[in-house]
């Protein structure tokens, strides 16, 4: 194991010396490296030896890469950290580009006790139509680069309401909230209600968001109708992240968001 880690370190060092653009590329030339984000708002930091996934509000899961096959588009890893779904276990992820050049990844194998168990599985993910299927019967996960609010986009919730979230505003069709501050890593934003349709016009509030173990996105409006922006922003009150689908948001379930 020590020799293998040394080999990985030497490979990374050699790569850095030979070229200034050492791409973690598969057969289609995709670049699986750097700072990336997925549609569920998780942040991904990928290097040649580690893959760190930040789940908003929950923490960081670190995947140590033991077998990163650039030419074949896959990585064998072990997970560590309380934010991981299978801590201290091994898995295998595939990554690819579609015809439009969009980058996708698939956690095809997870929860194995050793790297050898992972390598013994010969099946590969089907990259034919990553947007719809091929990853254990489900779609692959899209990865993009970018900056700004990770929660930005168009959504529907589990009550069939629509939400249009932009860098500076959240419109749920009834009320437009002005976003004053947000934190992608800790998964929260502070807002002020502005439009005439709002119940608490000109008041402040705080919304948290996270992703559960089933890879579903949720938000919790924990604070609302607050008179002070500073008191709202600095409040240490947090929701419970364990089971957002059933509880944790002031005794109620969080609200599920599905990206359109």
Would you state the pLDDT for residue 211?
A: 97
d(CA 168, CA 178): 6
Would you state the pLDDT for residue 36?
A: 96
Tens digit of pLDDT for each residue in 170-210? 999 999 999 999 999 999 999 999 988 899 999 999 999 99
Would you state the pLDDT for residue 47?
A: 93
- Same domain, yes or no, for 174 and 198? yes
Stated as kind and residue range, the H or E segment containing 229 is helix 229-234
Would you state the pLDDT for residue 30?
A: 53
Q: What does pLDDT average to in each consecutive run of 10 residues of the chain (260 residues)?
A: 41 33 41 93 95 97 89 91 95 94 95 96 95 96 94 97 98 96 98 92 98 96 98 98 97 97
Would you state the pLDDT for residue 157?
A: 98
- The domain boundary, picked from 143, 178, 213, lies at 143
- Same domain, yes or no, for 13 and 137? yes
Assigned domain for 129 exists:
yes
Is the pTM here over 0.95, yes or no? no
- Same domain, yes or no, for 14 and 121? yes
Assigned domain for 24 exists:
yes
Assigned domain for 148 exists:
no
Number of domains in the chain: 2
- Same domain, yes or no, for 130 and 159? no
- Same domain, yes or no, for 133 and 12? yes
Assigned domain for 80 exists:
yes
- Same domain, yes or no, for 122 and 23? yes
Q: Which residue has the tokens 């064998």?
A: 76
- Same domain, yes or no, for 135 and 75? yes
Other C-beta atoms lying within 10 Å of the C-beta of residue 233: 17
- Same domain, yes or no, for 134 and 163? no
- Same domain, yes or no, for 80 and 18? yes
**What is the token pair recorded at 83?**
């934010």
CA atoms within 13 A on the CB side of 10: 6
Q: How confident is the prediction for the chain on average, in pLDDT? A: 89
d(CA 91, CA 112): 6
Q: Which domain holds residue 159?
A: 153-259
């Amino acid at each position: 194991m020590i020799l293998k880690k040394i080999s990985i370190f030497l490979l990374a060092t050699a790569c850095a010396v030979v070229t200034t653009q050492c791409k973690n590329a598969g057969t289609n030339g995709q670049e699986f490296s750097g700072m990336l984000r997925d549609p569920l708002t998780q942040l991904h930091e990928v290097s040649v030896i580690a893959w760190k996934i930040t789940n908003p509000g929950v923490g960081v899961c670190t995947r140590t890469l033991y077998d990163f096959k650039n030419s074949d588009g896959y990585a064998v890893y072990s997970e560590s950290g309380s934010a991981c779904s299978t801590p201290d276990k091994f898995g295998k992820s595939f990554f690819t580009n579609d015809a439009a050049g969009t980058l996708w990844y698939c956690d095809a194998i997870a929860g194995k006790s050793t790297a050898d168990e992972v390598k013994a599985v010969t099946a590969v993910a089907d990259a034919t139509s990553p947007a719809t299927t091929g990853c254990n019967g489900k779609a692959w996960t899209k990865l993009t680069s970018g900056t700004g609010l990770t929660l930005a986009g168009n959504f529907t919730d589990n009550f069939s309401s629509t939400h249009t979230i932009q860098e500076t505003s959240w419109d749920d069709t009834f009320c437009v909230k002005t976003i004053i501050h947000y934190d992608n890593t800790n998964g929260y934003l502070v807002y002020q209600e502005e439009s005439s349709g709002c119940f608490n016009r000109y008041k402040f509030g705080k919304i948290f968001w996270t992703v559960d173990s089933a890879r579903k996105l949720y938000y919790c409006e924990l604070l609302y109708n607050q008179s002070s922006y500073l008191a709202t922003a600095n409040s240490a009150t947090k929701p419970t992240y364990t089971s957002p689908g059933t509880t944790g948001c002031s005794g109620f379930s969080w609200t599920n968001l599905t990206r359109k």
